[in-house]
Amino acid sequence: DQQVKQNSPSLSVQEGRISILNCDYTNSMFDYFLWYKKYPAEGPTFLISISSIKDKNEDGRFTVFLNKSAKHLSLHIVPSQPGDSAVYFCAASGTTNAGKSTFGDGTTLTVKP
């Protein structure tokens, strides 16, 4: 039973346009959500997070939206740049699970010049 799902394995967008990466979760106990970016053969790097008490968090070109009723979150990147090409992982955590995060399978974003 996969508790965090990223249903799109890949996404391709043109440079300068918006990238929207989606993530769904099933566990109602999750109350903190994070996005990571990963290049091949490297460890992921933390991008942005959102608490369940908010529905939006913004950091520069990156914005994460949370819809708790739908158990859905999305990461918007505007404008997209070729350097954004990477695998993006959605992760979820809860106050009752000792800081452990459950990860989705990732979405490979390709930004074309």
Partner 1 sequence: DGGITQSPKYLFRKEGQNVTLSCEQNLNHDAMYWYRQDPGQGLRLIYYSQIVNDFQKGDIAEGYSVSREKKESFPLTVTSAQKNPTAFYLCASTPMGIAYGYTFGSGTRLTVV
User: Which residues would be at the binding site for partner 1 (CB under 8 A)?
Assistant: 4, 6, 9, 31-32, 34, 36, 41-47, 49, 51, 89, 93-95, 98-106
**Helix spans in the chain (H):** none
CB closer to partner 1 out of 12 and 95: 95
Minimum CB distance to partner 1, residue 99 (Å) = 5
Q: Minimum distance between the CB of residue 49 and partner 1, rounded to whole angstroms?
A: 6
In the complex, what is the shortest distance from the CB of residue 67 to partner 1, in angstroms, rounded to a whole number? 20
Question: What is the number of other CB atoms lying within 10 angstroms of the CB of residue 46?
Answer: 10
Half-sphere exposure of residue 104, counting CA atoms within 13 Å on the CB side? 31
- Name which of 65 and 103 has its Cβ closer to partner 1: 103
- d(CA 103, CA 58) in angstroms, rounded, equals 21
CA distance 28 to 19: 27
